[in-house]
Structure 1
Amino acid sequence: MQNPSLDEIRDILKKSKRIAVVGLSNNPERESYQVSQAMQNAGYEIIPVNPMIDEALGVKAVSSLKEIEGHVDIVNVFRRSEHLLDVAKEFLEIDADVFWAQLGCVNEEAYQLLKEKGYPVIMDMCIKVAHALTK
């Protein structure tokens, strides 16, 4: 598994506007909330994807990627590594641009599935840190 270069990640973040966050918590203490809030504050539209909550960061949550209307640039995943393959399969159903698994999240099977279909895949990297590094 190999992530894109920092230059490629910079390009991804520059052209992206909408980030669907799978596993976004509505608890301000959680990493998913803090990272997504930082990205929202940086100008990205955040779409919470979590069947257990009604809203997060002032945005109504959806229970699955398939419920999102319109195009999604990045699917940012805050789920344990063993769930990444299921999220990757759903990702393929909505034709988003980039699959991004947060720091500590790696699944080789999900990586191979998405790379074989030609999608950019980033794993085990915090999108907030990457955004700060590529400014």
Structure 2
Amino acid sequence: MPDGQSSDLLTVLNTADTIAVVGCSATPTRTSHKIAQYLQTRGYRIVPVNPNYDEVLGEPCYPDLPSIPAGVELDVVNIFRAPEHTADMVRSAVERVEETDERPVIWTQLGVSTTEAKTQAEEAGLPYVRNRCIKIEYDRLLA
């Protein structure tokens, strides 16, 4: 998936059921909260990931990706963290993959991708969407 071709993004959005939102905030004015809520209203199951909360948008919130129960199959890992943390978030996703055999799409929001994170995802065989807002892409391709 070379940085997210439109046809590839459409396939991801049409086939995904569950989206982990890494860095999801419980604060309604935060972008991560607004987008997670938007995705919920579009029928996706949201799995918030943030060590600061127990629950976000009525869903249990997990401190990190490996803490999400193995029975929760992730289709997309949407990252809302500062660029200096993105590679660590991909490493965390790879750690989970090694335990669950899932192959979620790693989706980095605008401005959070790094070359290191992209390389890690590709080396683990995980599709990688670079610097794309999942809400903007949903609106562009499906609204």
- TM category (shorter chain) comes to over 0.9
What is aligned with 1:125?
132
2 CA distance for matches of 1:100 and 1:32? Answer: 13
Counterpart Cα distance in 2 of 1:100 and 1:124: 8
User: 2:51 matched to 1:44?
Assistant: no
Aligned residues: 134
Indicate the residue corresponding to 1:30 in structure 2: 30
**Alpha-carbon deviations, 1:1-30, whole Å to 9, x = none?**
x41211100001111100011100000000
RMSD: 1.0
Divergent runs of 4+, >2 A = none
Amino acid at match of 1:126: C
* CA displacement, residues 103-132 of structure 1 (integer Å, 9 cap, x when unaligned): 111210110111123221012111011111
Query: Residue in 2 aligned with 1:57?
Result: 57
Q: Which moved more, 1:17-26 or 1:54-63?
A: 54-63
Gap runs ≥5 in structure 1 = none
Deviation at 1:54, TM superposition (A): 1.7
Q: Distance in 1 between matches of 2:130 and 2:5?
A: 12
TM normalised by structure 2 equals 0.90
Q: CA deviation at 1:67?
A: 1.4
CA distance in 1 between partners of 2:5 and 2:48 (Å): 27
Look up the equivalent residue of 1:28 and give its one-letter code. Answer: P
Conserved 8 A contact 2:35-2:135? yes
SS in 1 for 2:28: coil
Structure 2 residue aligned with 1:6:
6
Q: Is the 2:4–2:130 contact (alpha carbons within 8 Å) kept by the matching residues of 1? A: no
Residue 74 of structure 1 aligns with which residue? 76
Structure 2 residue runs without a partner (length 5+): 98-102
2:100 aligns to what? none
* Aligned counterparts of 2:8 and 2:89: Cα–Cα separation in 1: 23
State the identity as a percent: 35
Q: 8 Å contact 1:104–1:124 — kept in the other structure?
A: yes
CA distance in 1 between partners of 2:58 and 2:24 (Å): 12
Q: Which residue of 2 aligns with 1:91?
A: 93
Aligned to 1:102: 109
2:62 and 2:121 map into 1 onto residues whose CA distance is 23
